[in-house]
A and B are shown apart, each in its own frame.
Chain A
Amino acid sequence: MSEAAPNPEAAAWRRRALLLAPLAAAGLGGAGFYAMLRGLGTGDYDPRGVPSALIGKAPPDFSLPPLEGTGLPGLSAADLRTGKPMLVNFFASWCVPCVIEHPQLMRLAREGVAIMGIAYKDKPVDSLGFLKQRGTPYARLGVDQPGRVAIDWGLYGVPETYLLDKGGIIRWRMAGPVTEEILAQQVTPLLRRYA
């Protein structure tokens, strides 16, 4: 019998293939979603759409006053070129994810990584209380109470962390808390790469 001619066996196969189609489609979709989730972890896939316009560029010019009571110097654009890679971290005492990422920042600071802090839209006394209670990971700390500098950086929200290479060029940005996984999978390798 030729292949074109309808026969019960071919019809049965067609039916079987048709019945398998939903499973195949769901399987393909699932594999894609799995790849997306993997990519979210490694940074290959980012649904937030617009990657920071600043990546590959020097940060915008700014100069912020210090936070009274910490003894740390203030922060300006010139302080971001030290010949070593560093992190710039926007935080606020009113943000719970900042509390979540704080231990990771403290660990990095103990390991000798320079972290520049910017207190975003926060009362100085609250920022001070936050750091007194939980420790200070920052080498320098600027106070951006009106949030002007944050606008120039294109801040998405707090916490937000930028990684700068030794030439002071922005290489990476993380909108959201630096969790232990992100620290291990992204920050540490990047710090090594740009050292």
Chain B
Amino acid sequence: MIPEIGHFALALALALSLAQALVGLVGAQRAEARLMGAAAPLAAGVLVTVLAAFACLVWAYVANDTTVLNVVQNSHSAKPLLYKISGAWGNHEGSMLLWVLILALCGGAVAAFGSNLPSALQARVLGVLALVALGFLGFILATSNPFERIWPPPMDGQGLNPILQDPGLAFHPPLLYLGYVGFAVTYAFAVAALIEGRVDAAWGRWVRPWALAAWSFLTLGIALGSWWAYYELGWGGYWFWDPVENASLMPWLAGCALLHSAIVVEKREALKTWTVFLALLAFGMSLLGTFLVRSGVLNSVHAFANDPARGTVILVLLAIYIGGGFLLFAWRAQAMLPTGVFTPISREGALVLNNLLLCSIAAVVLAGTLYPMFADLVLGEKFSVGPPFFNTAIFPLAVPLIGAMTLGPVMPWKRARLFPALQRLWWAALAGLAALVLCFAIEDNRVGPALGFGAAVWVILAAVADIADRIALFSRPRAAWARAKGLPRAAWGGAIAHAGMGVMILGLAGMGLATDTLRLVKPGESVALAGLDYRLIGVADAPGPNFSARRATVEVRDGGRLVTTLEPERRSFPVARMTTTEAAIHTTWLSDLYVVLGEERDGGAVLRIHHNPLAPWIWLGAAIMALGGGISLSDRRVRVSAPAAKAVKAGARA
């Protein structure tokens, strides 16, 4: 019965979305206040119905209702409760439902917190969001119904893919979708602006928090996924340039460009067309990712169900949303003329440079991801584009990007001169150069890591210098504390996010120095790596809730001193007939000691040992970036936008 309620709730949500889209768009076009006013309650209705449907699906999983096909295919009674719940979105149908739920949450948020928006703009944004929800609800109901029944019910389900049974992965999809779907709101704002033919500072002020929130969630989601790959897949790496990883990186890059260019719209009323384009692009990239992952056109460890029929429907949705958005852009963006002017050397100039570089990197990632697919299609040849391409193509773009992100914040708006900006950063530059030379000397003239360390120190200290400069720490130290308290949170957030990027670069540079070894060892024997001794004590059986495991005990000694005891496992899951490796990781924060247990033979076991310098700082840096985004979001300016709303109303009357 409950699955039918969920199915019905989805159908109801579809009907309500249709009403919301009509009421919002038609109401705003005819300037009928009563129609426009109905959009917000309808958005609340969509939220309630989608939430009900989602709750029904989670219930089916928790109760292990084996009459529901989706539960049978992805769950099992012997699974821990957390993974029964997360299993609800660990598959195509359930994750689509989660996607729509988050979209409904965004719609609800625009309805609830958007009361200070001009009513026509709010109605149009809600209308466009409802159009997006309409398409995806239709997609779920037509091709991916999570509530489909199976009769007669099997005794039990088939279990969730064991490598997905992990706390990191339980939260990876929701965070990622919060990011992807958050860009639906900036998309809706862009489409509304194109319909109205007007972009102004107030528009930039409303778009920026959404871009910032979506970007922060996406940062966390990608970092969590990368961390999961690092400790769960047991390959010792953190990023593989897999098409599906790239699919999440492209909206992140576009969103990163968007949240920076929205600052320029807000402060200087320039870059309007460009910002609207980025808002369309960020959501377009999110949708493209959805298509790539779910249509079966690419081969990846992450790919969902391989169903071309589903792919066709998603492609139609893409054509409507991306094609429609760009069509509107080509038709209406003519009308938007910049009012602010600025010179290339200014904060706007640095932001433009940052935008161009971020978009170039996104283009590189897009090309590298799609090229093998199109080469296969057009030339009939199998290519594989791997890390060497991405690393060499992105490196020359990353260097000027780092320059722009450090110089930009210390330059004034409109017109700046390079020399005073450099003057504020001279000690950061000096420290960065020192780190570069030092690393180059210690690490046998290796250029890549040395440049990385130099860049990391330079970025972190430039962020510190920026804040120090703003609170006049050196020129008037007594007043610094008072000035620090008065500094807008957006300034703090920006500096913290930039410093987080520096911390991440530190981790990436450290991983450039990673070493590993693969050895067959018998109990009692030891392997030396990076100055540490890894001694295999023994391998024993270790039972788990829904798996059985072999667990090795490895003692790590530095000289005679015991550093830690590591216990890597190989788990075999009888229901799914799969084996997973559980890497054992000990972090000293300076480096990760990472041991993977391979197969056992000849009375010994194969151990793969990685020494990963500074690895944890990659994810810590990402978390700091997201934190910076959050702090920036808590800025007073975001919460209080009433004066700007008045300004727009005044502008509309004029």
Contacts and interface: CB of A to CB of B under 8 A. Distances in A.
Contacts of B315: 30, 33-34, 37
Nearest to B332: A19
Interface residues of A, number: 29
B535 to A, nearest CB: 35
Interface string A38-49: 011100010111
Contact of B319 (A22, A30, A47, A96): A30
A178 B72 CA distance: 20
Nearest to A28: B374
Contacts of B281: 22
A176 B370 CA distance: 24
Contacts of B487: none
A23 B297 contact: no
Contacts of B318: 30, 33
Contacts of B329: 19, 22-23
Contacts of B309: 181
Nearest to B318: A30
Contacts of B273: 19
B306 interface: yes
A176 B311 contact: no
A26 B291 CA distance: 13
A27 B377 contact: no
Interface in B75-92: none
Contact of B297 (A27, A33, A96): A33
Contact of A37 (B280, B312, B319): B312
B114 to A, nearest CB: 27
A165 B306 CA distance: 27
Contacts of A94: 158, 577
| Main SS at interface, chain B | helix
B330 A27 contact: no
B370 A45 contact: no
B277 interface: yes
B115 interface: no
B277 A45 contact: no
B488 interface: no
B327 interface: yes
A135 interface: no
Given A32-B374, A40-B308, A20 B330 contact: yes
A47 B382 CA distance: 9
> How extensive is the interface on chain B, given as a class?
35 or more
A108 interface: no
A41 B296 CA distance: 11
Given A30-B318, A36-B297, A47-B299, A23 B327 contact: yes
Interface in A44-90: 45, 47-50
Contact of B334 (A16, A22, A50): A16
Contact of B377 (A20, A39, A41): A39
B178 to A, nearest CB: 25
A55 B306 CA distance: 22
Contact of A29 (B72, B73, B370, B376): B370
Nearest to B366: A29
Given A23-B329, A23-B330, A49-B382, A40 B311 contact: yes
A132 interface: no
B72 A36 contact: no
B373 A36 contact: yes
Interface string B310-341: 01100100110011001101100110000000
Contacts of B330: 16, 19-20, 22-23
A35 interface: yes
A102 interface: no
B158 A47 contact: no
B273 to A, nearest CB: 8
B284 interface: yes
B295 interface: yes
Nearest to B73: A96
A22 B280 contact: yes
Given A30-B318, A37-B308, A41-B308, A48 B377 contact: no
Contacts of A35: 377
A67 B197 CA distance: 72
Interface string B376-399: 110000100000000000000000
A121 B370 CA distance: 37
Kindly list the 4 A-B residue pairs having the minimum CB-CB distance in the complex, ordered from nearest. Answer: A23-B326, A40-B308, A47-B299, A20-B330
Interface of A: 15-16, 19-20, 22-23, 26-27, 29-30, 32-37, 39-41, 45, 47-50, 94, 96, 121, 176, 181
Given A22-B326, A32-B377, A176-B306, 20 more contacts: A16-B334, A19-B334, A23-B327, A23-B329, A32-B374, A33-B291, A33-B318, A34-B312, A37-B311, A39-B377, A40-B296, A40-B297, A41-B308, A47-B296, A47-B298, A47-B299, A47-B373, A48-B299, A94-B577, A96-B73
26 contacts: A16-B330, A20-B330, A23-B326, A23-B327, A23-B330, A26-B284, A26-B326, A30-B318, A30-B322, A32-B377, A36-B297, A37-B295, A37-B297, A37-B308, A37-B312, A40-B296, A40-B297, A40-B308, A45-B297, A45-B376, A47-B297, A49-B382, A50-B382, A96-B73, A96-B158, A176-B306
